[in-house]
Chain A
């Protein structure tokens, strides 16, 4: 609970002031029945109307003041809950931004999302309504019991006799409802996985005309869900009326037993009226007692889960003293680099003993089959992962010693799977740079061959990308991510098979346009098409994480190895296309 109290402490003024308002509200709430009693007593004894009016005015005044004070007490405490929610959400987000890619490989986005959303909300409920009731309930009890006892001890004991029953019933049902609702949830998830699977395998369902059998299975699951839901509804439906009924019972006791006492002459009707009023006041805190406990329970559990995220160590971070780098002078070197993903056990690694240098102004091409380790190699350069052994050097400096931000500023990375944010196309393109000239933008768009698409878009570069705007094709997205890297204008460019969804014709045009730029930059080019890497100064052929061939295009073709075969194949399929 250490972290949670830090958050609460930050808003101690709100909580304190809110608490004081609660105290004020409770005081006013508790005096009203007392004054009612006084007024009724006067009426009962046939006193003067002006005395009654005095108490009536007192009550109205108290009610009005109470209205304001109560408003502030609730608003203050609920707001404090929202404030903590705000801080907590910010802190979580900031922390998530620091976590490395390997963390996101382990977590599914959907799971992470629902955890963040549901758990934050549970913590907030604990710190808003939870705190309010936590303060209110004992306050009301102490006040009301003291006042009732001061009126009449025996009446008080008789009146609150059903309260233990009330608490017991509430507690019992809460446990059962929670269990039942868990069952309903499980049944619902069984139902939705059936639907999910049915829809994913729809081609098989249709091909074998299995629609009816699928529906029968669904109907069975659906029936189970209906039965389970009904069980829960039954319990939910019972709790409220029973609680109300028990509360009504206390009133009954007061009138019955009180009535007998009044007849005997040792109690006033005014006392009965006051007792009924106090019991009404206590009804809610009593009913909410169990609920409040469960709020705290859930809030604490949720906070523990959030702390798990907050305490996950960002493995890739800046070392204490990292020298600033502004430009690439010598180049990039892979020195004995090996890398294994966490999930890879028993000695298997994604990359083994990779050695090569990429001098400034030169380019290296990478080819190899799917899963040979090309993308992994590229992702090591901007430290999306850290090498397991060996080192990657930038201008002779180990990348792990450089400031992360500066290192990444040097590199324009165009990933294999294009990711665009759902803002305007322009904002997406300008992701890597705060300011740029109009020409730079136009040029980048032209080179990436995005200009023709932009012309067709309804709002040009201001067009929104994604669900609410234009849905881009895979090729368009890839070209947009290329333009994004070009606008950034970094000294190093890494193209990770970034034109795979672009047709061969357009790719050729893009490569043509890129040629001049690539000459100015230090480039690492990954491609499954030979055409993209054939002009590189050195080409590395990767297989199962190892470099199996290296050299320039002509050398590799002459050697007649894997690369030569690949080249031959691609020529054939190009020929085939032409027919």
Chain B
């Protein structure tokens, strides 16, 4: 909220050629429709401006000349013009909205696709809400521009010229009298418009302040109350609120002035027309109908002048939104497949870390020259205290981030030379916090890939011990998964994520194991499923269970971003080094707990 309102404060140009050009790129596929909607503009104006002229003819020629047939003819023309205008206005709006909706839909897809490719480090820095806003609110502002901005702005200008022309054609002197009124009116309108815009800008800033203050006060209400700051806070809020009200009081005056001005101008021009034109009529130079037509034309002249300032603001907001959108689209994709991407065949499940150093923030290294090799089919457990770099290590393996020094090789090829998609297809990742998408169970196991046959999904679920609880759901594999899988227990989510691995059958499994489940029955199922999932795969595991460590071929001890100890459980215990202490700290208690309960897990083992 705060971020948005603050950005709202910055309003710059209403027209930026660079941005318009880039937007044009999205219009190109629909340019025929776009031109069609543009072509309808003069048509719509012609129908509209014909009406006063037809009124003039009807009154001056046929009513005055008592020609009923002529009057009927001209009124039928009037009806035709009326229908023509209605249709043309609608069609013009419809086509321009069609262009807008289609090209903005494309723009949204472009943003979404681009965001999909952004490196993980981008998501660490940018809150999700801001990215959502780019695709929703900002694009909608551009739609507003299509609906009521650029196109009509241009057409208004054309119409003003039309009106001049017609008035001069009808009667030069009368046109000049009317024109004489227009410059002072335009000046006055311009004055009010300028003032209104100034206050409008002020209002935006002030409403943003109120909302920011309110948002902050609501989230910090506990602190306000604890420090007994209610009165002081209220006074501050009241002041912001009063500033906002005062700005509006001023703006209301200008807006009202602007509105009344245009209304009054219409009547003044009628007075002038009668005063000067009345004489002309009396001399027989023109008819009464001409006066009527002039009155209409003058009215149509002032309306676009009045609406100009509103359209200007729409354009300003649109440019600001476009700027933000293109900024996002211009964010470079750091992690991409190289030009001559390699997909090694046959794939060997071998992983080599060679003097890998990595930092998220410069000067704050997370991994310092980490080296190890995992042979195909080998199961390696990684242990270490919090912050030792375990999680980072597994994130590097599938190129969620790029390392700064050293190399990581999978199947003998540096991950940076791999085809990114292929690499990730070979590496299955199970994270501690299992992420489920809203949708159904099946879609979550197959991750939305419709080409995966149902048997494969069901087989995977069966092997991963997930079938029994899925079957128990009323809709089975079609059961709904709520946002973030909140309608499944932690244990069930883990089983689903293991089944997901089995659906994709990756050769390498990387797992940040979740802590053991409180529910002993589920815990036994998870341990059993884990063993099956790990079979015949190269595994790199961050272990939280004793059983996982026991099942590992080797243990790597990470400490402060370095590999400090490597070996089997027995070897490392004997050494009485870091692992020994870690074991006491993290695993011993679990062993005690398991021993005392004699869990089904142990019976299974």
Contacts and interface: CB of A to CB of B under 8 A. Distances in A.
A400 B338 CA distance: 69
A408 B228 contact: yes
Contact of B120 (A55, A202, A468): A202
A226 B241 contact: no
A286 to B, nearest CB: 17
Interface of B: 1-3, 6, 51, 55, 58-59, 62-64, 66, 68, 71-72, 75, 78-79, 82-83, 85-87, 89-90, 93-94, 97-98, 101-102, 105, 108-109, 112-113, 115-117, 120, 123, 128-129, 131-132, 135-136, 143, 147, 210-212, 214-230, 233-234, 237-238, 241-242, 244-245, 248-249, 252-253, 255-257, 259-261, 263-268, 270-272, 274-275, 278-279, 281-282, 288, 291-292, 299, 385, 398, 400, 420-421, 424-425, 427-429, 431, 435, 437-438, 447-449, 483-484, 500, 504, 559, 577-578, 581-582, 584-585
A269 B63 contact: yes
A382 B504 CA distance: 55
Given A59-B271, A215-B112, A215-B116, A82 B252 contact: yes
A202 B438 CA distance: 14
Given A56-B274, A188-B136, A64 B268 contact: yes
A355 to B, nearest CB: 25
Nearest to A228: B101
B85 to A, nearest CB: 7
B180 to A, nearest CB: 13
B447 A36 contact: no
B226 A411 contact: yes
Contacts of A237: 89-90, 93-94, 97
Contacts of B274: 36, 39-40, 43, 52, 55-56, 59
Contacts of B266: 63
Interface string A253-274: 0011001101100000110110
Contacts, number: 381
A218 interface: yes
A116 B79 CA distance: 49
A60 B233 contact: no
A267 to B, nearest CB: 10
Chain B interface main SS type: helix
Given A63-B264, A93-B217, A192 B421 contact: no
Contacts of A63: 264-268, 270-271
A322 interface: no
A97 B233 contact: yes
B234 to A, nearest CB: 6
Given A53-B278, A203-B431, A209 B421 contact: yes
A384 B222 contact: yes
A251 interface: yes
Contact of A204 (B270, B435, B449): B435
A241 B90 contact: yes
Contacts of A211: 113, 116-117
Contact of A90 (B112, B218, B241, B249): B241
A59 B270 contact: yes
Interface in A1-52: 32, 36, 39-40, 42-44, 46, 49, 52
A223 interface: yes
A575 B435 CA distance: 35
Given A83-B245, A205-B116, A419 B219 contact: yes
B136 A192 contact: yes
Contacts of B71: 255-256, 259-260, 263
Nearest to B388: A576
Nearest to A59: B271
B105 A223 contact: yes
Given A59-B271, A71-B257, A197-B438, A233 B93 contact: yes
Contact of A67 (B1, B82, B97, B261): B261
A244 interface: yes
Interface stretch (A107-115, A294-302, A328-336, A506-514): A107-115
26 contacts: A40-B291, A43-B282, A57-B271, A64-B268, A71-B260, A74-B260, A75-B252, A82-B245, A82-B252, A86-B245, A90-B238, A93-B217, A116-B214, A193-B438, A203-B429, A204-B447, A207-B429, A210-B448, A241-B89, A251-B55, A270-B288, A419-B223, A431-B227, A576-B581, A576-B585, A579-B577
